[in-house]
Amino acid sequence: MNRYFIDVSFNGTCYHGWQRQPNGLTVQEILEVNVSKLFRKTIRITGAGRTDAGVHARHYMAHFDADPEDLHLQSEWINTLNRMLPKDIVIHQVRKVNQEAHARFDALSRTYQYVILREKNPFKNEFAWYYWGPLDREAMNKAALLFLGKQDFTSFSKLHTKTKTNLCTVMEAHWDIREDCMVFTVRADRFLRNMVRAMVGTLVDVGRGKTSGEAIQRILQAKNRCEAGASVPAQGLFLSGIEYPKRYFLS
């Protein structure tokens, strides 16, 4: 048996996130069912981590183990699987990795992007949050810098999670203008549940003048979810990339 990393994109609108759940359809379930059908054997797929219901992914990574002969014509295998999958999930690439490589535990960093639509557009509502009021992007960028470094993000985490620590190291956090949208990019070694959506909600409060940029430090120190802003809607959030040690990839 060899281990393979699989690069997946999905529109999360119709799914209850990545991870299998007893009460809702998930991306993991769809992939496992179709890959198992293709190989005519049960295949378990381990993802890089949870995503919330309605969240999208441009490049989500997962791993599975399979016999080499099952993937001897990789391009044909990928094309066949993509024809089997629903239109909102696509496989980009499958790469052989070291047997000990793990899609979740070996990630060096993850990058998320949140898209705020600044002009009403019926063709983008599924992939952005429309906010019509004025926003001070300069103030939001200054406040975003206060997230950088290794800090406790309890104030930006969903309550009652089972994580051992709420410490995260944020390496990048900034806002850009792209056509009729504002895009928040944040990269970190790990993320807590609901963390990015809470960060964006707090920065929007800064942009609309409801919260001062300096308040970010106070909110972080409070370690209290009630101190941060409301979570923004899921449809504007994308997992845009995950970085791994290059030595893990064999082909």
Residues with active-site annotation: 52
Cβ neighbors of 176 (< 8 A, separation 6 or more) are 182, 183, 185
3-state secondary structure (DSSP) of residue 26: coil
Cα separation, 35 vs 44, in Å, equals 9
Cα separation, 13 vs 55, in Å, equals 7
3-state secondary structure (DSSP) of residue 27: helix
Cβ neighbors of 180 (< 8 A, separation 6 or more) are 117, 118, 119, 121, 124
- DSSP for 170-206 reads EEEEEEEEETTEEEEEEEES---TTHHHHHHHHHHHH
Helix residue ranges, H only, the chain: 27-39, 74-84, 137-144, 195-207, 215-222
Can you state the angle between helices 137-144 and 195-207, rounded to 10 degrees? Answer: 140
For the chain, state the CA radius of gyration: 19
Q: Is 233 exposed, middle or buried (0-12, 13-18, 19+ CB in 10 A)?
A: middle
